[in-house]
Amino acid sequence: MKFLRQLNAAENPIPIIFVAESADVATSVEAMKGGAFDFFCQPYQDLDLLEAIDTALDRDRLWCKTQQHFNNLTRQYETLSTRERQVMEQIVKGKMNKQVAFTLGISEITVKAHRGRVMRKLNVTSLPELTRIADTIARRTTNIDDGSAGPTMKFAGQVAR
């Protein structure tokens, strides 16, 4: 079980399927709580095990694809300047350009220029797309603003790094 916990703590957790010669309910529950994908006691049906393996591999592929997408979004976000991030934060809160300009103490034309660069750098063409990206980064990020290096985004009380 310790090995299972170490694997699940890894940056790329591997789906683990337990196959035991004999096990009690407590052992299987412990394995599942520890992050096991599935648990089989012998005797088991070969097709059931193969189906579990196939499902685990599908889920792992999806996790890898999702992680890659998030990493790409993060890299794109990191290309934004501090001011572009500030403008983005205000825009995804639903503020109009004039309100953003007032809040940040810059002209509305400057806000439009920063907004355009944000859209280009993040490769989006609409405000809903920009909001989805901001939400994805904010939800998927677990670090809090501890003063360490790196970009930060604050949306709805959250801090994303």
User: What sign results for the dihedral spanned by CA atoms 118, 123, 128, 130?
Assistant: negative
Is 33 contained in some domain? yes
- Please give the DSSP secondary-structure letter assigned to residue 13: P
pTM of whole model > 0.85?
no
Is 73 contained in some domain? no
Q: Is the pLDDT of residue 152 over 50?
A: no
What is the span of the domain harbouring residue 110?
79-160
* pLDDT value, residue 138: 85
**Mean of pLDDT over the chain:** 83
**Do 58 and 21 sit in the same domain of this protein?**
yes
Is 10 contained in some domain? yes
* pLDDT value, residue 159: 40
Is 83 contained in some domain? yes
Is 74 contained in some domain? no
**Alpha carbons 24 and 44: distance in angstroms, whole number:** 15
Q: How far is CA 53 from the centre of its chain?
A: 25
What would the pLDDT profile of 38-94 be if each residue is shown by its tens digit? 999 888 899 999 999 999 999 999 988 988 988 899 999 999 999 999 999 999 999
**Do 59 and 83 sit in the same domain of this protein?**
no
> Which CATH number is 54's domain given?
3.40.50.2300
**Do 116 and 135 sit in the same domain of this protein?**
yes
